[in-house]
Structure 1
Amino acid sequence: MELVPRAATEQLADAVQDLRVTVVNGPRQAGKTTLLEMFQAAHGGTYRSLDGAEELAAALGDPVAYVDSGERPLIIDEVQRGGERLILAVKRSVDQNRTPGQFVLAGSTRFLTVPTLSESLAGRAAFVDLWPLSMTERTCGGEDFLQTGLGRPAELVGDTSPWTRDDYLELITTGSFPEVIGMRNNSSRRRWFNGYLRTIIERDITEFADIRHAQALPRLAAMIAARAGSPFVASDVGNGLSLPGETIRTYLKYLETVFLTASAPAWSTNLVTRLTKAPKVFLTDSGVAANLTNTDIDTLRRPGHRSLGALTETFVFAELLKLKSLTCDAFEIMHYRDRDGREIDFILETPDGRIYAIEVKASSSPHSDDTRHLTWLRDKLGDRFTAGIVLHLGTKGFSYGDRILSLPLSALWGHAPLRSDIVQQ
């Protein structure tokens, strides 16, 4: 039995060959340490983690000596704990020696996206995002949704998916963190999620931010989970939490810094007016979102459950985020909404301007009316519109004609089943 192969493994190896510094970013417990240890076993180097008190003291006490010692590549995990002086010591080292593959830095916060630090590594570093397990990884699919569902969407029409509604509910409520996938007990999952959120708030965020209303952070995360799919208006959210809108915007940045949330900005075009500009904000894992809304698979099985739509859209957003990172940002993820009541859950735009529009329906019985906004956008954009896809919880894929399709949710991973010969964690 083998672990799930991570698609980022090849990205990391390629980046180390060509760049002096490679940065592996991603949420805590996504599998970064396992990835780094496997990389070291295959390529050599020195692995250090600043989670250890002695290592952290050495890095803080003399960062120049710390980065100058050890076999290359020097792999530093939880690098954000070393602070700005450690990053500047890395910059000094690679400016003196331009050989590729000197450092692999990994962190559980977007520490290196701070302008002063990102600029110090500009031209010296490549970034590899590692999210929790994607369904493409868990099924070991040879082709992802970009290649089949988006590149050749008509090929999926007529396929019958082996995935059932109950299968989807299990995926949605479990989420994709490797450790949680291996759990079969709902109470164990709940304890894990509660501990995870506590660690992020009480340790990771407080290391870089002074929070006056720490108790509001889990409440803000829960509100985001419950309102997923709706435009995020800071003043409205602030009213619900009795906090100013500016405080909400600041706290949202903190949640994004530790990869707990991510945004889909509003998409706009000069072909359309009367747009709304508010982004949509999602938790980056549907299991975390389900836990925050006190939702489990048994409650979701009830027809018409109020959380199913938001959680399904959160699941799809998380899978799209992973596909984006695995394809080196081959598309941007946005959403569309206008003041005439038209909205489309996700707009994927490629660098050459092609548009893929996705509607997410938490139903096993999609209806032709679900495509009306996709059809409207197709007629507005003409040839630039590549495909409009309704993703649903049913088993059949079919066409509504002229680039408008309805596909089971499992089209995101080519309908492939979970592999029984690998450890699903």
Structure 2
Amino acid sequence: MVPGIYRPRAVDRTLDRYRRSFSAIAIEGAKGVGKTATARQRAATVFKLDEPEALAIVQADHRRVLDARPPVLVDEWQRHPPIWDAIRNADDDGAAPGTFLLTGSADPRDAPAHTGAGRIARVRLRPLSLAERLDAPPTVSLAGLLAGDRPALDGDSDVDLERYVDEILLGGFPGLRRYEGQTHRAQLGSYLDLVVEKDFPQLGQRVRNPDALRRWMTAYAAATATTASFEKIRRATTSNDGDEPARTTVIPYRDALRRLYVLDPVPAWRPAAGSLGELGDAEKHHLVDPALAARLVRATKGRLLDGASSGPAIPRDGTQLGALFESLVTLSVRAYVSAAEAAEPEVRHLRTHRGEHEVDLIVEREDGDVLLIEVKLTAVPDDRDVAHLNWLAGRLGDQVIDRVIVTTGRAAYRRPDGVAVVPAALLGP
């Protein structure tokens, strides 16, 4: 990736489609994911509210924004929440489609009471997906799989397991991908430090014990791709002197990290009809980028490839590398879903109450039909790897659009049982 050169994003399609219908679009997501760069591709006038002068101008006179040459970008709009209502009112007054763009890296507690529903379209931007990072174009389209035509699959990838580990550790923050080695690790560490030292106070969230917050984030990172209870995560936060943070302390941490889009869990899926027995309702834990999780637990390429774990001990099925690979695929699938032409499908996971069956990702269309996705750290999946997919497909019948297993292999193909085998590097929007 060349600094200063914009790399197209999957969400570009959605933004350009929305600009034809909505007068205002809010692009939301964690800091550093590329919201400003993406919005600037479409803006004629920019107000950066993280700059004191621009913030003072907008606070003094909203008309400076409303009367500026469109499209108008208000960057970090949450620094002055009243601008949201001012733009919503401009829509009521007949603002043309595509007039305003807002970007925000936090969901402020004092956000306007009116959500802007029907007036301001909201789009989530996450870090770069695999398809947005790699030079080789993907050969398997998530949109094509969601269409329900069960397309034939082809394509070969030269991305091997080591490259996937490199991508996990490098991460999808565009501005950090130019760094390497210790410098890159330091940049990720600085990102996490800013969350604790700057972003929390800007939310009005006082951090009495920064070390406890960092330990909680590390324990959460160790729980990546699991449904570990928050009590287990809290107990894993215990310091060397036996100090365990109180529940009343960690719940505000969790809530603030959600509002900053740093936590990005996958909710549990429940079918409309209760035909699957007792299902778990716990969300599956993910940070916004697996690189942050790896940095928090101090994972290294060597330890990951050796099958070793780093950080607090959290029970999981499989290796830490498998969990981080699942997190990378989850990030990518969510990015591809954001480009869907129809109403954005929902991404969920399923786990039976006692864990006998689980499916990593369930992409549900608006009509209730579902695409089932399993993620496995294997090049050649066997019958055991697809057993949960086939179990759930047998229960749901015609509601299942397709079954997919995402792997670290080289070729895309269909197994004799119809399951689509797709290397992560070949999956795209």
TM-score by length of 2: 0.85
Give the whole-Å Cα distance in 2 for the aligned partners of 1:349 and 1:68.
38
Q: Is residue 385 from structure 1 mapped to residue 400 from structure 2 by the alignment?
A: yes
3-state secondary structure, aligned to 1:243: coil
Does the CA contact (< 8 Å) of 2:14 and 2:340 recur in 1?
Answer: no
Which residue, out of 285, 300, 311, partners 1:296? 300
Which residue, out of 68, 71, 75, partners 1:70? 68
Does the CA contact (< 8 Å) of 1:230 and 1:280 recur in 2?
Answer: yes
Q: Is residue 353 from structure 1 mapped to residue 368 from structure 2 by the alignment?
A: yes
Once the two structures are superposed, the pairs formed by residues 257-276 of structure 1 within 5 Å of their partners are 257-269=259-271, 270-276=274-280
Does the CA contact (< 8 Å) of 1:20 and 1:103 recur in 2?
Answer: yes
3-state secondary structure, aligned to 1:401: coil
Task: Please name the residue that 1:394 is paired with.
Answer: 409
- The one-letter amino acid paired with 1:18 is S
Give the whole-Å Cα distance in 2 for the aligned partners of 1:32 and 1:116.
19
- The one-letter amino acid paired with 2:220 is I
Give the whole-Å Cα distance in 2 for the aligned partners of 1:15 and 1:359.
31
Give the whole-Å Cα distance in 1 for the aligned partners of 2:162 and 2:401.
31
Once the two structures are superposed, the pairs formed by residues 76-91 of structure 1 within 5 Å of their partners are 76-83=74-81, 85-91=82-88
Change (3 A) 1:143 1:253: farther
Does the CA contact (< 8 Å) of 1:50 and 1:56 recur in 2?
Answer: yes
Task: Please name the residue that 1:55 is paired with.
Answer: 54
Q: Is residue 312 from structure 1 mapped to residue 308 from structure 2 by the alignment?
A: no
Give the whole-Å Cα distance in 2 for the aligned partners of 1:310 and 1:338.
19
Q: CA deviation at 1:201?
A: 2.5
Q: CA deviation at 1:246?
A: 5.1
- The one-letter amino acid paired with 2:171 is G
Q: Is residue 252 from structure 1 mapped to residue 254 from structure 2 by the alignment?
A: yes
Change (3 A) 1:96 1:357: closer
Does the CA contact (< 8 Å) of 2:139 and 2:427 recur in 1?
Answer: no
Which residue, out of 312, 321, 324, partners 2:334? 321
Does the CA contact (< 8 Å) of 2:130 and 2:424 recur in 1?
Answer: no
Change (3 A) 1:383 1:402: farther
Task: Please name the residue that 1:371 is paired with.
Answer: 386
3-state secondary structure, aligned to 2:215: helix
Give the whole-Å Cα distance in 1 for the aligned partners of 2:173 and 2:9.
13
- The structure where helix makes up a greater share of residues is 1
Q: Residues 58-106 of structure 1: CA distance to partner in whole angstroms, max 9, x if unpaired?
A: 233x2434434422333211111113x3333333444344433332211
Q: CA deviation at 1:262?
A: 1.2
TM-score by length of 1: 0.85
Q: CA deviation at 1:395?
A: 2.2
3-state secondary structure, aligned to 1:57: helix
Task: Please name the residue that 2:344 is paired with.
Answer: 330
Q: Residues 150-177 of structure 1: CA distance to partner in whole angstroms, max 9, x if unpaired?
A: 55555226x5432211121111111111
Task: Please name the residue that 1:161 is paired with.
Answer: 157
Q: For structure 1, which segment, 254-263 or 303-312, has the greater mean C-alpha deviation from structure 2 after superposition?
A: 303-312
Give the whole-Å Cα distance in 2 for the aligned partners of 1:371 and 1:149.
17
Does the CA contact (< 8 Å) of 1:94 and 1:102 recur in 2?
Answer: no
- Unmatched 5+ stretches in structure 1: 415-425
Does the CA contact (< 8 Å) of 1:23 and 1:104 recur in 2?
Answer: yes
Q: Is residue 220 from structure 1 mapped to residue 183 from structure 2 by the alignment?
A: no
Q: CA deviation at 1:278?
A: 0.9
- The one-letter amino acid paired with 1:256 is R
3-state secondary structure, aligned to 1:283: coil
Give the whole-Å Cα distance in 2 for the aligned partners of 1:379 and 1:299.
38
Q: CA deviation at 1:148?
A: 4.3
Which residue, out of 33, 36, 39, partners 2:42? 39
Change (3 A) 1:179 1:385: same
Give the whole-Å Cα distance in 1 for the aligned partners of 2:281 and 2:115.
33
Task: Please name the residue that 1:117 is paired with.
Answer: 112
Aligned length: 404
Does the CA contact (< 8 Å) of 2:49 and 2:74 recur in 1?
Answer: yes
Change (3 A) 1:150 1:163: farther
Q: CA RMSD in A?
A: 2.7
Give the whole-Å Cα distance in 1 for the aligned partners of 2:327 and 2:262.
12
- The one-letter amino acid paired with 2:284 is K
Once the two structures are superposed, the pairs formed by residues 69-148 of structure 1 within 5 Å of their partners are 69-83=67-81, 85-111=82-108, 117=112, 119-138=114-133, 139=135, 141=137, 145-148=141-144
Task: Please name the residue that 2:170 is paired with.
Answer: 174
Give the whole-Å Cα distance in 1 for the aligned partners of 2:139 and 2:336.
11
Does the CA contact (< 8 Å) of 2:379 and 2:409 recur in 1?
Answer: yes
Does the CA contact (< 8 Å) of 1:149 and 1:412 recur in 2?
Answer: no
Could you tell me the percent identity over the aligned residues?
26
Does the CA contact (< 8 Å) of 2:142 and 2:337 recur in 1?
Answer: no
Q: CA deviation at 1:337?
A: 1.1
Does the CA contact (< 8 Å) of 2:346 and 2:363 recur in 1?
Answer: yes
Q: Residues 125-157 of structure 1: CA distance to partner in whole angstroms, max 9, x if unpaired?
A: 112322222223334747763134555555226
- The one-letter amino acid paired with 2:58 is A
- Unmatched 5+ stretches in structure 2: 238-243, 310-318
Which residue, out of 13, 29, 34, partners 1:26? 29
Give the whole-Å Cα distance in 2 for the aligned partners of 1:96 and 1:303.
60
Q: Residues 307-334 of structure 1: CA distance to partner in whole angstroms, max 9, x if unpaired?
A: 2011111111111121122226532111
